[in-house]
Amino acid sequence: MFYEENVGVNSNQYGILNSILNKIQPKEIYRIKANLVTRTSEIVTNSFHTDIQGNWGVIPYTTSIFYLNTNDGYTEFEDGTKVESVANRFISFPMDMKHRGTSCTDEKVRVVINFNYLT
C-alpha cells in the first residue's frame, strides 16, 4: 500500500508515483497500491470487482492501472474487453466498472499499480 485515505502514507518518496501523479493531476487520492501476482502454470482469473466498495456513486472517482512489466496476464472487464499487460501501459476507467486481473505464465511475476482518485 502506497497511500490509503484515512491512513495516509507519504507517496512523495516514490519517484514513479510522482511522475504519474503529475500527469493525472488528481484532486484527491483515495488509494494507491501495488499488486504482485506470481507465475502460475495456467492463467488464473480473479473475480470481477470494483476497487472502491460502498456508496460512492455520487463521487466520480477514477480507477487507473499502471502495468510495470510485460507478460501474458491481462485485465478483463465485464463486457469481455481485455487489456494486455504491457510495461509502462496506463489505463483509466470509471470506478464503477467491474474488472479483474489474472496471473501470468511467462514471467516470474505480474506487477501493476492501482490508482483510485478523484478527477
Any idea what the CATH number is for the domain that residue 61 is in? 2.60.120.10
Is the pLDDT higher at 9 or at 27?
A: 27
- Average pLDDT taken over every residue of the chain: 89
Q: Which domain holds residue 69?
A: 3-118
Is the pLDDT higher at 31 or at 2?
A: 31
**Closest to 99 (Cα-Cα) out of 44, 46, 55:** 46
Across residues 75-91, what is the average pLDDT?
98
Rounded CA-CA distance 12/2 in Å is 10
Its pTM stands at 0.89
Detail the DSSP E strand segments found in the chain: 3-4, 28-38, 61-67, 74-77, 82-84, 90-94, 99-101, 109-118
Q: How many domains does the chain have?
A: 1
Q: How confident is the model at residue 11 (pLDDT cuts 50, 70, 90)?
A: very low
